[in-house]
Structure 1
Amino acid sequence: MKNSRNRTDSLLHAKSYVFALRIIRMTKFLRENKQEFILSKQILRSGTAIGALVRESEFAQSRPDFINKLSVALKEANETDYWLNLLKDSDYIANNSFDSIDSDCGELIALLISSIKTVKNNMNAG
């Protein structure tokens, strides 16, 4: 999966990319097997936006811009967590599927929070 255009050397890049692929596959399942189109559209948008924003942050114009991009990615991850819970509680996805993907979403949230804190601390120290 590693190539010059897909930064898998960064844990956040790699995990957000793999998470986006999982979201795409889940959306496909929801549409084809459950005939669910509304919630799946929402989670597809927010779940894939995380990685896109992380990727965008690579070329941020400044540290505050970098923090902003990661902060928006964090908001998208939080929204994705909401849609995942809604899909589980409405019985569109099984508990075991939810547990696995929700764990990944939680890990992304933690990585984003940590990255934002690190950059803020470095800005305050320098």
Structure 2
Amino acid sequence: MQKENLIKDMSFNFALSIIELYKICKSQNEFILSKQLLRSGTSIGANAQEALAGFSEKDFLHKMSIASKEARESQYWIDLLSQSKLVQFDEIRYKLEIQSIINISTSIVKTLQDKLRLKS
């Protein structure tokens, strides 16, 4: 499976996980950080989808770069929720998922950046 399809599938599944975590947070009366996480965590897949529909390699790169940044933001919110102890949740699961997404999206971005540099 290509990295692009892998990131699409992983980011979609992560978004579903984040929706689940958002519900957990709400049930434990945490509304602020979880809303930020919901936005960034679901944005990864939306940007990956847009990237796959990109009209050029530069467009693809731009959208995948945004997806990668959203993944890093999501990691921040997960770490903050975890370390603040505002919510009890399976933090390891989410940390492993987001780290995989960060690794793959970063690899996609760097590979395409190198490819575009060689073309210039």
Same fold at TM > 0.5:
yes
Q: Which residue of 2 aligns with 1:66?
A: 60
Shift of 1:59: 1.3
Gaps of 5+ in 1: 1-8
* One-letter amino acid of the structure 2 residue matched with residue 77 of structure 1: A
> Aligned pair 1:111/2:104, yes or no?
yes
> Aligned pair 1:28/2:12, yes or no?
no
* One-letter amino acid of the structure 2 residue matched with residue 42 of structure 1: Q
Q: Which residue of 1 aligns with 2:40?
A: 46
Number of residues of Structure 1 aligned to a counterpart in Structure 2: 116
More helix by share: 2
> Aligned pair 1:90/2:84, yes or no?
yes
Aligned with 2:71 (options 77, 84, 88): 77
* One-letter amino acid of the structure 1 residue matched with residue 6 of structure 2: L
CA distance in 2, matches of 1:93, 1:14: 27
SS at match of 1:10: helix
> Aligned pair 1:18/2:13, yes or no?
yes
- TM-score (structure 1 length as normaliser): 0.85
* One-letter amino acid of the structure 2 residue matched with residue 21 of structure 1: L
Contact 2:7 2:105 in 1 (8 A): yes
Aligned CA-pair RMSD: 1.5
Aligned with 2:94 (options 97, 101, 107): 101
* One-letter amino acid of the structure 1 residue matched with residue 49 of structure 2: R
CA distance in 1, matches of 2:34, 2:61: 28
Which structure 1 residue ranges, 4+ long, deviate > 4 Å from structure 2? none
**What's the % identity of the aligned pairs?**
37
* One-letter amino acid of the structure 2 residue matched with residue 20 of structure 1: A
* One-letter amino acid of the structure 2 residue matched with residue 27 of structure 1: Y
